[in-house]
Chains A and B, each alone.
Chain A
């Protein structure tokens, strides 16, 4: 019951937030929160550190952007197409990567993501460094015009909640339990008769598809799909968001994404704009050295110890 109440309060905050804050900024936070949640599904629950998740974010964005510009599909269909494309790419990545573990897994995903980056850099339809500009937001189901920022925000919120719910369901399903078992002790999971690689692959594909969903939505919010989203910096940023918020927690990545995006947003306009990467680096170091379980993890520990 208490959990229900908490969820409702959070929902109310999310619904009322655009009255106080700029809706596009909030939509950006939600897109990155979904991206970080998708990443966390892999790192936090299956114990797989992917260093190539930007490839999925970018693929979602480019596919959706391309379809919105060239095909006249409605936004929800374009987003689904982006998600499917990202999921397929995830299946290829996953197939190749899950055979390896630890640092080798991270390196394989990074290498594949770099391949994808250079493909998008050279492919004519992405416009290279210019990015795919002027992606229209279109009309949802052909009826609801998304060009108003507030409407767009509620659409993004709905997508985020759907994605978040799906991750939550996955984590708490028997499938999620097996992922956790694999994370804790892979050999034992194998000895119990589970085909470990297949479980990992499925988790990878779900994570990739949800990351693409975030990318697709983001390209609609900003009317732009650009190389920044495919660059390996982005793969690093999502790790930072997840770590700061709390790996393996449900709400951690959301808070982490909110924290990092807010920081970037406020620093970029001010005097400290030039030092933004240094500041983020320092945050990362502090986080790794002194509170490894992140904001949510630390808070949970505090609650456990004191109440």
Chain B
């Protein structure tokens, strides 16, 4: 017996030594590009960045030619379920164990925040396309964050400012209760106050709320001129539905601060028609946008949201930077990405700033009424183009990673 124990013991000891020596070093650069797309496959944001985000990334890879640095480009995808813990463990597995070079898609600011931290620890680039919070390039900025498509500042500048200036002074917020909603409410409140308006109240609803009636009643009692919906996806649709049922839309203006094409399509034109909003992309803007939008619609079955377009555009910009710099080393690639101006059907007058914020022209649009519509996807009337410089927040000194 003693003998056996001894041999088992020695096996244990040698095992420990071997395991320690083996280490856990995954090569930082293996020459093969693997892109992870993390999206919400079946939840509140599935329509705006779910399987569609994977399709958009695949289209970018195909249009790029499928190969870079002599090897096939691979795409992996997973469902974040909009939970930061799930997202961070998937991201960790991807970058530490499976050789993923960059993670894109990323809807929900809570998810993006968690992933961005994992990526920064591992020196991997985060291509945030679906999230709105501005913290990625301000409070929690890091050299590997790339924030594409839009952010809360652009939304507040685009949608809130003209309304306050037009005399809508008293505002009430119905806010999604997590980082995105808080950021949007905070930034929008600042814009309101700066233009002489006031915030008369706010209420916070958990992500994925289906019954907004109690929040709508509070809004109704507030005596505000405008009820701002600082939420997104199905939350916006449900809130607006409740607002209509309670007759709120007849008493005050309802401003959807973040409305995606899918949501605009889903809402009754008699309710949503005439609502003005800010978007980073509209498929029917011009020929270049239409060409891509049509192709996406053929593949995916629905017209693209600005996030879909942003995923395509950011993936393309990343791949071009990899090709031009001839390596998949993150530090080199991110430098290249910031040096080169992105220019395609999505990015207009665009620039990827040293802080990782991609600024480009935004669109101020109005949802068309039923009579004005000409087909399923014909939903916006472009009021004006907001120049990149006016839309976004200025860069902060501590986030200048040039």
Contacts and interface: CB of A to CB of B under 8 A. Distances in A.
A92 B9 CA distance: 44
Interface string A221-248: 0111010110000000000000000000
A150 B8 contact: no
A215 to B, nearest CB: 12
A15 B19 contact: yes
Q: In this complex, which of A25, A28, A147, A269 has the most chain B Cβ atoms within 10 angstroms of its Cβ?
A: A269
B179 A1 contact: no
B372 interface: no
B206 interface: yes
Contacts of B121: 147, 223
A5 B42 contact: no
Interface in A106-129: 121, 127-129
A233 B5 CA distance: 43
A223 to B, nearest CB: 7
Contacts of B88: 133, 222-224
Contact of A150 (B9, B19, B113, B117): B19
B45 to A, nearest CB: 13
Interface string B329-358: 000000000000000000000000000000
Contact of B85 (A5, A12, A22, A228): A228
B294 interface: no
A222 B16 contact: no
Question: Interface of chain A, helix or strand or loop or mixed?
Answer: helix
Interface in A124-158: 127-131, 133-134, 147-150
Contacts of B97: 22, 24
Contacts of A4: 5
B85 A224 contact: yes
A134 B113 CA distance: 9
Interface in A19-42: 19, 22-25, 28
B149 to A, nearest CB: 20
Given A15-B16, A269-B78, A24 B41 contact: no
A274 B22 CA distance: 36
Interface in B80-94: 81, 83-86, 88-90, 92-93
Contacts of B27: none
Nearest to A135: B117
B206 A273 contact: no
A269 B38 CA distance: 10
Contact of A12 (B12, B84, B206): B12
B79 A131 contact: no
Given A24-B93, A273-B41, A268 B110 contact: no
B207 A129 contact: yes
B181 to A, nearest CB: 9
A63 to B, nearest CB: 17
A81 to B, nearest CB: 21
A300 interface: no
A24 B89 contact: yes
Interface of A: 1, 4-5, 8-9, 11-12, 15-16, 18-19, 22-25, 28, 121, 127-131, 133-134, 147-150, 222-224, 226, 228-229, 268-269, 273-274
5 contacts: A22-B93, A24-B97, A25-B93, A223-B121, A268-B78
Given A5-B5, A24-B93, 13 more contacts: A4-B5, A12-B12, A15-B16, A24-B89, A131-B110, A133-B84, A134-B117, A150-B20, A222-B85, A223-B88, A224-B84, A224-B85, A226-B83
